[in-house]
Structure 1
Amino acid sequence: MDDLTLLPAQLDALLTGETNTIANLSNAAALLMQTLPDLNWAGFYLFDEAANDLILGPFQGKVACMHITPGNGVVGTSFAKKEVLVVPNVHEFAGHIACDSASESEIVAPIIVNNKIVAILDIDSPSLNRFSTSDADIITEFAAIVAKHF
C-alpha cells in the first residue's frame, strides 16, 4: 500500500457535518475503494443486537453475504474477538465464508461506539498477502473515525 496515512483524516473531513449513518458508511466504503489499490470489496456489516446477527450494510464491490453470525468467518471472528484481523490467505482461515471466490486476503476491523461493536469494516483483495501491519494501523484509525461519525 502506498503512504496512506492521510486516509483517516480524509475520511474525517468527508464525514464532518453529516449525521446520517448510512450516508457516512456509504462514503467511507467508496473512499476505501477509490483510494486503496488492489481491492475487490470494501464495506460494512452492521450488528443487529436483537437478532444477534451481522447484516450487510453499505459497500462497494460484488454482491455479498447478507448475514454473518458473530463468531463465524473472518467478520464474525473479528466481532467475537473485538479486534482487527489481517488474513493473508483466506483459504487458510478456519471457517472462512466465501462470499466472493475471487477474494484471497482480507482485513477487518470492529467499529466500536460506547464500548459496543456496532459494525465490522470488511476489506477484501483478490491478491494473497495484500494487507500489512502498517495497513492494519491505518484501518484501525479509519475504523475509529467511522465510529466517531456513527
Structure 2
Amino acid sequence: MFNASLYTGTREENYTLLIKQLTGLVEDEGSRIANLANASALLQQFLDDINWVGFYLLEGETLILGPFQGKPACTRIAVGKGVCGAAVARKEAVLVEDVHQFPGHIACDSASNSELVIPLYSGGQIIGVLDIDSPSFSRFDETDLKYLTIFNERLGEYL
C-alpha cells in the first residue's frame, strides 16, 4: 500500500524507487541522526495506512526512541519486551497482523493494530530497529517485509 500520488508503478517498482531515494538522501550525509530522520520522513511519505514510523536505537539492553514520524511514543523498551524488543532478542524481523494477540505487546498508541519491526544493522552489529505501526489489522505482508528489509540494509550501510 503506497501513497499513490507519488508512486505509480508496481509495488516492487515503487519499493525500488524508494530505496533509490533513500540512497540519494543518505549517501553524502555523515550524521546518523539526520539519516534516520530523513529515512523515517521518507517512509511516512511513501507508505499509506500507517500511524507511526521510526527508529529505536540500542543502548546496552534498552532500545531508546530515535527519529520518528507520528504521535509521541514510548521512550525506552527493554530487549525482549514488546514487538521491538522481541525483534532485537530474536535478531529477526517480526511481522504482527494483530498486536493485541502478541504476548507482551507494548501499546504506545492504542490506535495501532498491526506492526512490522525490522532489526537495523551497521558494521555487522545490530544498532536498533525500524518500527512501523498501522491502525489496520494485517496491514503488512511479505512484500513489505522483503523491501523494507532491503531499505534497512541500505540505510545501515550509511550509519
TM-score under structure 2 length normalisation = 0.90
1:127 is aligned to 136
Larger displacement relative to structure 2 (122-131 or 1-10): 1-10
- The answer to whether structure 1 residue 94 and structure 2 residue 103 are counterparts is yes
2:31 is aligned with what amino acid?
A: N
Distance of 2:124 and 2:15 partners within structure 1: 25
- The answer to whether structure 1 residue 5 and structure 2 residue 15 are counterparts is yes
Distance of 2:89 and 2:19 partners within structure 1: 25
Distance of 2:116 and 2:15 partners within structure 1: 17
- The answer to whether structure 1 residue 115 and structure 2 residue 121 are counterparts is no
Larger displacement relative to structure 2 (5-14 or 32-41): 5-14
Q: SS of the residue aligned with 1:63? A: coil
CA offsets 1:52-107 (integer angstroms, 9 cap, x no match): 21000000000000000000000000000111111001001010000000000000
State the identity as a percent.
49
Please report the RMSD computed on the Cα atoms of aligned residues, expressed in angstroms.
0.9
1:140 is aligned to 149
The verdict on how the C-alpha distance between 1:16 and 1:114 changes in structure 2, with shifts beyond 3 A counting, is closer
Instruction: Name which of 64, 68, 79 aligns with 1:55.
Output: 64
TM-score under structure 1 length normalisation = 0.96
- The answer to whether structure 1 residue 40 and structure 2 residue 51 are counterparts is yes
Distance of 1:149 and 1:114 partners within structure 2: 10
Distance of 1:148 and 1:115 partners within structure 2: 10
Q: SS of the residue aligned with 1:45? A: strand
Distance of 1:114 and 1:20 partners within structure 2: 15
Q: SS of the residue aligned with 1:5? A: helix
Unaligned runs of 5+ in 1: none
